Structure 1
């Protein structure tokens, strides 16, 4: 361990560099505000004293829009079904959650979207019966490649009124591909010895577990089934404390992410080569820091909400991302940022 005075000095220097760099980005954001507004249509917002908001991070804007409109309410519905089934139908809890996930999928993506997901699942399960890992990988890659076939894309777009609805189906199918790949590989390795937990119904329970349905985090099939078989029992008081503390933390992360894109137009400046060429090196450093730290805080929210629901279900979610400012190598980045995906790759 380093001496306390030395640790304090490094901490002070680190915070100093961060905040000074962010201050430079803030000044540039205010200086070019009118030009950026014309070019990128900055949004007027009532939050943060009427400051304008940078809406150019597609992922954040997309999930916030869907979250506020429908997904957050469907997650609350999942939580209610989960708690009720735990109290009254513990034995049938996986099937209750599976049924709820299928209804939620139908509600958001329509009968066509649900049918496509079921078709992918059925094809993957059928190929897994050969118990050959190479065939499973080829099947998953083939199903994934169909998302980029122009005729199929046009047909799927025709099912929906808006582009955002089509993108939601696209993202959901992409994440589901990781999930049916995980199930099918486990079936290839252990299907003959653990038939009970490698049935088509367990695959559906895994595929339609709603908290991780659209965007993750990733849970491998063996982790999911192990935890479903032996869920951690917590008292109502402990669960309530976990829920309230989790809501406060998620609200703080959301507030921090929103504050960043109100004070610093990091994505708009990053998308404008003329502004990038005009700013100082301190500002460029601040833009780089702000980009990766916004990405970190964004995923604390996007993974934090489903992780909290998973925890309330009595399961253990993958660890949340570790702060990128505390990492010194990309080896640590991949291990510690998307922990669920890392476990999937290792498995």
Structure 2
């Protein structure tokens, strides 16, 4: 059996194992989780798209102090045409529509304010100054001068594709590796050239990208054990990205009610929804998701801002029916292990065992 850990990805990105921890947005990434995965020999990731520049700077300092191994910081590339603030009319209309849910969460509807998302270019300036080993991004491709500056500073770049068209665009832009983000993946669908609904399943997408690209391809979506990792490697992936299995660990910042749902029979039933953020994302079905299946909702980030108080109250009270229960379709495969390092070691051992068994056959 060939050494499955010796891949284009591990050599180029300076890690021991071709396993990437999926970045979690919305404030549920934790320094402790990122460091644990990196220290175990994988590539830990921190979802930082929600952080304003000063917050991002402080987080990068904490990450650098927590581990001396490579880690990735993930940002969201702004999509053209999306609103940059919340107008009073949309706030009033959607606050009325959400009134039953505010009551359910036992909170008042928030007064109008005009929030603004963090400035992407300012975030990038902080990242370039701090120089993490890897800059990962979703929902598009940063401007050529940003990618050129990353190369000049020795920062590896990692973009996400949901379709072959997007993978080819990332390659042509000079990105160092591509995440094949399959339909099965939990959380947001990071499409940017094709509609998010056109996402391809992880297996076919991985095979297509690995055949077409000469840079590392990282399979993502529905991979939660060693069998999934082995399968992805045999399809041509140079590495895998695992999200849900790490989201359920003690080091994750997900609410405890979310973690319990990931390990429950309910995790068998996921759906794609725009209910929580205004962008299409996969989560475990609950009352809030099902009630908004066919609703006319504001786009991202307006819907995200409007539902944020409900989710915050639900996290505090433990009401899983109001939470964004992001989950991939691999959740029913989770082991009972809750420590991130033990989960990582279990993934490594399972991959080795599966590949050895396949070689014996």
Q: Shorter-normalised TM-score: what interval?
A: under 0.3
TM-score by length of 1: 0.21
TM-score by length of 2: 0.20
Structure (1 or 2) with the larger CA radius of gyration: 1
Q: Name the structure where helix makes up a greater proportion of residues.
A: 1
Q: Relative to total residues, which structure has the larger strand share, 1 or 2?
A: 2
